[in-house]
């Protein structure tokens, strides 16, 4: 655990007692602070009370008196669509509002670092899609070469729950827009921006606010090295803002849509081949096509970002390639769960928005596509250009009929349930087909999480194949 520095003897409010909230309370107490905890869920309050934490209704009159700050869990809105009443009360009272990510950045470095031979580094990864795979891939490659490394944030452990830094440690953080938007301290050594597509627009009041939340990791954090995907205008703009000149190699531009050969430092992938260029000359390359854990263009973008980070950390291209080759991929992200009778079954339940689903569709051929769920803002129009390899769609979710109507020329069957969708798809498959779960929607109309949705799909497929 990382004891929180700077609040010893002070009262600190903790709003939201899920994983990040409880961990924040523990880390605050470990650092000598006095956490005052609250959650609207009685079970969460009971769990915190059982660990000896003081439970205080932070929304009541006078609750903000004497608080040094208020630590907020990422799922609680602080501005849009409306501030949570407790957060509003803190702002009115002038109490600083912060989160666990900020506490981590303010507490990870200690005086004990003076005794380390190699100063630890923090790699922070953000973007709309590919954050988890990119973070896990960096972590995997570092582990494969024996580097001390920890994985935390939206993936792995909570940021304050990791171990204190070891000599030469590299902490890899996956950070969502909810986390970067509020954190008062953001100081990564290396920051990664994968891509941007519409998501969480209600929480950020539109695309401008969403991009601004991601941009804070770079503008506020001032990383020594920035790795930026430039296949969207926002990334192109961000890379330009961070560069002093075209040859400024503190910014590494990455792409899967164009060859990059300018005077700076670039990494791009075309037709399955990753290339690294510096000062207009190629200095490294990897054939990504045989790597089963990184299928499709979207994973090639993740590979470009991870490669750039590992090169910044001093790894040679061949060493990185060996690490990539042993990467098995992540659950629910283009995860091959079975191959039988010439048919491949793929779980990409993490494709919760249109852009992620389009990228999954582009990675496979002859697709029996299971899609649908809680539709996000923006509609499904952006999927139209990605459905060329879809043989048929099997639509799930409470609003399956409306979802199916938006799929244009794609043959679609309204199934509503995952059970019926899997049964129909498996009844109609032919050799060479791919049964792909890529919902292009959130899971919360039928499941507690995208993980539960993906696990249900995988269980149904495996049970049917075992019959």
Q: Is 144 annotated as a binding residue?
A: no
Return d(Cα 326, Cα 347) in angstroms, integer.
20
Q: Is 133 annotated as a binding residue?
A: yes
Return d(Cα 110, Cα 390) in angstroms, integer.
54
Q: Is 148 annotated as a binding residue?
A: no
Return d(Cα 2, Cα 255) in angstroms, integer.
36
Sheet containing 54-55: which strands, arranged edge to edge?
54-55, 34-38, 11-15, 67-72, 97-98
Q: Is 158 annotated as a binding residue?
A: no
Instruction: Name residue, tokens 């005794």.
Output: 115
Q: Is 341 left (phi over 0), alpha (psi -120 to 50) or beta?
A: left
Residue 204 phi, psi dihedral angles, 5° rounding: -115, 10
Q: Is 127 annotated as a binding residue?
A: yes
Q: How many residues comprise the chain?
A: 467
Asked if 58 and 13 count as a contact pair (C-beta separation under 8 A), the reply is: yes
Q: Is 60 annotated as a binding residue?
A: no
Asked if 223 and 250 count as a contact pair (C-beta separation under 8 A), the reply is: no
Return d(Cα 379, Cα 293) in angstroms, integer.
30
Q: Is 326 annotated as a binding residue?
A: no
Q: Which string of DSSP letters, residue by residue, matches 290-344?
A: T-TTS-HHHHHHHHHHHHHHHHHTT--HHHHHHHHHT----TTSSEEEEEETTEE
Instruction: Name residue, tokens 């200690």.
Output: 110
Burial of 230 (0-12, 13-18, 19+ CB in 10 A): buried
| 294 closest CA partner among 309, 280, 304, 282 | 304
Annotated binding site for ATP: 127-133
Annotated binding site: 127-133
């Amino acid at each position: 655990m990382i004891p929180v520095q700077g609040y010893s003897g002070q009262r600190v409010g903790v709003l939201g007692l899920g994983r990040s909230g409880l961990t924040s309370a523990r880390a605050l107490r470990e650092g000598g602070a006095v956490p005052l905890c609250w959650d609207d869920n009685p079970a969460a309050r009971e769990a915190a009370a059982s660990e000896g934490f003081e439970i205080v209704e932070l929304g009541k009159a006078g609750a903000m008196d004497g608080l040094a700050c208020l630590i907020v869990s990422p799922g609680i809105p602080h501005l849009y669509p409306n501030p949570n009443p407790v957060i509003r009360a803190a702002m009115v009272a002038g109490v600083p509002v912060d989160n666990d990510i900020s506490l981590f950045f303010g507490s990870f470095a200690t005086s004990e670092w003076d005794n380390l031979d190699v100063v630890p580094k923090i790699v922070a990864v953000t973007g709309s899609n590919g954050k988890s795979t990119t973070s896990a891939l960096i972590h995997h490659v570092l582990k494969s070469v024996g580097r001390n490394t920890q994985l935390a944030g939206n993936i792995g452990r909570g940021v304050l729950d990791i171990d204190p830094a070891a000599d030469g440690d590299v902490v890899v953080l996956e950070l969502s827009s909810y986390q970067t938007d509020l954190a008062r301290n953001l100081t990564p050594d290396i920051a990664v921006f994968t891509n941007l597509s519409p998501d969480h627009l209600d929480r950020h009041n539109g695309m401008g606010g969403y991009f601004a939340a991601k941009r804070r990791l770079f503008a506020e954090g001032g990383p020594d090295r920035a790795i930026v995907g430039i296949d969207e205008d926002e990334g192109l703009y961000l890379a330009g803002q961070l560069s002093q000149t075209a040859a400024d190699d503190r910014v590494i531009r990455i792409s899967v849509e164009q060859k990059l050969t300018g005077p700076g430092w670039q990494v791009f992938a075309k037709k399955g081949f990753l290339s690294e260029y510096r000062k207009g000359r190629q200095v490294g390359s990897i054939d990504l096509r045989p790597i089963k854990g990184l299928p499709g263009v979207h994973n090639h973008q993740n590979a470009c970002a991870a490669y750039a980070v590992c090169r910044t950390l001093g790894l040679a291209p061949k060493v990185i390639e060996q690490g990539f080759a042993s990467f098995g991929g992540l659950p629910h992200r283009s995860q091959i769960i079975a191959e039988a009778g010439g048919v491949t079954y793929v779980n990409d339940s993490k494709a919760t928005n249109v852009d992620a689903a389009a990228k999954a569709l582009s990675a496979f051929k002859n697709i029996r596509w299971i899609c649908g769920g809680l539709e996000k803002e923006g509609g499904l129009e952006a999927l139209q250009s990605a459905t060329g390899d879809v043989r048929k769609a099997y639509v799930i979710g409470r609003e399956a009929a409306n979802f199916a109507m938006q799929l244009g020329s794609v043959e679609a069957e309204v199934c509503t349930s995952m059970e019926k969708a899997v049964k129909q798809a498996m009844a109609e498959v032919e050799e060479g087909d791919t049964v792909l779960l890529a919902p292009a929607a959130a899971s919360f109309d039928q499941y507690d999480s995208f993980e539960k949705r993906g696990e249900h799909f995988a269980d149904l497929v495996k049970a049917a194949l075992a019959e």
